Structure 1
Amino acid sequence: MKEMRFAAILCVALSLSGLAIGQSGSDKLNRQLIQASDDGNAEVVKTLLAQGADIEGRDDSEQTPLKVATEHARVDAVRVLLAKGANVEAKSNSKGTPLNWAVGGDGKILRSEYADRLAIVKMLLDKKADTTAKTTSGDTALHLAALNYVNTDILQLLLSKGANVEAKNRNGFTALIYAALEDHTEAVTMLLAKGAKIDAADSEGQTALMHAVSEERIDSVDLLIAKGANLEAVDNEGQTALFRAAMDDDSNYDWGGNYVEVTKLLLAKGANVNAKDDHGRTPLQMAIRNDKHQVIKLLQEKGAH
């Protein structure tokens, strides 16, 4: 009975592989291995490897078995592949390593996957996976952990293995910026405790505080200010965080959206209402231009002109 069940699993894996009749035997095995790894069929993975499938074989997208298994949080398949010596630094055509894929997935992270992803990250780090490896966007595993998860276990694990808190992606984003714009306050606190520069700016000169204001992340705004974020730091156009509250679009703004509360908080903490950007514009002028009536009122109450 056990043999029949195993044979059925193997047949399903092979039928899903979509192989062309003319492929060589080794090519078929390699593609079957990638499919089995993608499906998380650990027993099929073992069988195919025993039959001579290449553990580093790639498909047309340069994906290895370990890449697809980590991407889809197939913890049992990952365990088998690592035990058989799969290369933890093999990159797909997206340049991401298995560690990047384990943390970032395919962009659709499910809560139910978190425990498996944490286990996979531990396994990869035990195999000395490189925490500095970047995707085509320049994101490290730490970036992806700060961006994708409220839970900080993966973030803490990466930091314990020496992940660089100041690493920047192609847009100049640090992990702290990602955590702030997603309002992951525990991650913000953890990154700051590990030495992240609170006023580190992206390629447009925008800090974590500016991003938090733009995204209406009231808790992150409050936390960053409490931790010493510079209210008067300016971006590449000479604009402070208060300008973001006056400029960024929010269709529900005048119905009491978070921008109102964010603006109140910035003003309560002493933000300069008459700061001027590189074009000589003030927050009040920008609020008027963008029809931000609540902001206009708040700024005028603080003496803006």
Structure 2
Amino acid sequence: MARGIWPGLLAVALGLGVPLGALAQVPPLAAEVLAFDGLHQAAWHGDAQKLKALIASGANLNARDTRGRTPLHVATFARQREAIKLLTKAGADLDLLEDDRYDAVTIAAVADDAATLSVLLSLGAKAGQTTSRYDGTALIAAAHLGHDEVVRRLIAAGAPLDHLNNLHWTAVIESIVLGDGGPRHQRTLSALVDAGADIRLTDRQGNTPLQLAKARGYTAMAKLLETPRAK
């Protein structure tokens, strides 16, 4: 499977006729890393001294690489949290989208990187931007992947619970239809239900989350949707 493609989405996309090029969140490849210079290079390596010098010299904080990634995007991919802080303090934009329409928050969410996500949110990054070619959110991406701790942190930061992407799926629906029904997806669904996500919203075919869970044999998830708290 190509690096950066969300597990399970390939088959779904093929069935829907979605172009394969729309699937990938692309971290910097080895050749791209070797080509980095300036702030991108310093951000990737977490070179604080070089970052400070470049910032002081007036380097463009929101410069783009060949895939539209800023130094802050690169630092997020590399989990260089001190670099993120330095760039943000200097005025880098936390909420820009790269060419595949991912922001730093969604990059961290897809990577299951709760620590970097928390840094971004603490610095003022938005939790609920519309991102990706599916017009989704970081919360939907994290729910799809069963990144339960990331989901909880995004919920706490005010991410929209009931956003519908262009597949007509919410975070609740994606946790079921693109999940494996296992413990992490169960915890993800539980967090969404506890937070008040609307479990009455259906997919494009009119299926409720409960119907979708039952159809897949996800007994534990179905039970979560049938309890009194699931309103």
TM-score bucket (shorter structure): 0.7 to 0.9
Matched, 1:103 2:33: no
Distance 1:201-1:128 versus aligned 2 partners, 3 A rule: same
TM-score scaled by structure 1?
A: 0.58
Give the CA deviation at 1:146: 1.9
Distance 1:288-1:118 versus aligned 2 partners, 3 A rule: farther
Instruction: Tell me the SS of whatever aligns to 1:163.
Output: coil
Partner of 1:172: 101
Distance 1:249-1:240 versus aligned 2 partners, 3 A rule: closer
Instruction: Tell me the SS of whatever aligns to 1:167.
Output: coil
Residue 66 of structure 2 aligns to which amino acid in structure 1?
A: T
Partner of 1:219: 149
Instruction: Work out the percentage of aligned pairs sharing the same amino acid.
Output: 27
Matched, 1:195 2:124: yes
TM-score scaled by structure 2?
A: 0.74
Contact 1:183 1:212 in 2 (8 A): yes
- Counterpart CA distance in 2 for 1:233 and 1:156 is 29
Partner of 1:25: none
- Counterpart CA distance in 2 for 1:170 and 1:291 is 38
- Counterpart CA distance in 1 for 2:229 and 2:113 is 34
Give the CA deviation at 1:161: 1.6
Give the CA deviation at 1:192: 3.0
Instruction: Tell me the SS of whatever aligns to 2:136.
Output: coil
Instruction: Tell me the SS of whatever aligns to 1:160.
Output: helix
Distance 1:281-1:130 versus aligned 2 partners, 3 A rule: same
Contact 2:168 2:203 in 1 (8 A): yes
Give the CA deviation at 1:215: 2.6
Give the CA deviation at 1:216: 2.2
Out of 91, 95, 110, the position equivalent to 1:162 is 91
Contact 1:232 1:271 in 2 (8 A): yes
Out of 199, 202, 213, the position equivalent to 1:273 is 199
- Counterpart CA distance in 1 for 2:119 and 2:55 is 20
Residue 130 of structure 2 aligns to which amino acid in structure 1?
A: A
Contact 1:146 1:184 in 2 (8 A): no
Size of the alignment, in residue pairs? 200
Distance 1:291-1:171 versus aligned 2 partners, 3 A rule: farther
Residue by residue, what CA displacement relative to the aligned partner does 1:37-77 show, whole Å, maximum 9, x if unpaired?
Answer: xxxxxxxxxxxxxxxxxxxxxxxxxxxxxxx9xx57xxxxx
Give the CA deviation at 1:129: 2.1
Partner of 1:292: 218
* Larger RCO (alpha carbons 8 Å, 6+ apart): 2
Give the CA deviation at 1:140: 0.9
Give the CA deviation at 1:259: 1.0
Map 1:245-264 → 2, pairs under 5 A: 245-250=175-180, 253-254=181-182, 257-264=183-190
Map 1:1-305 → 2, pairs under 5 A: 71=33, 97-104=37-44, 114=46, 117-149=47-79, 152-202=81-131, 203-250=133-180, 253-254=181-182, 257-301=183-227
Cα RMSD (Å): 2.8
Residue by residue, what CA displacement relative to the aligned partner does 1:116-152 show, whole Å, maximum 9, x if unpaired?
Answer: x333323332332222112222211111222221x52
Instruction: Tell me the SS of whatever aligns to 2:92.
Output: coil
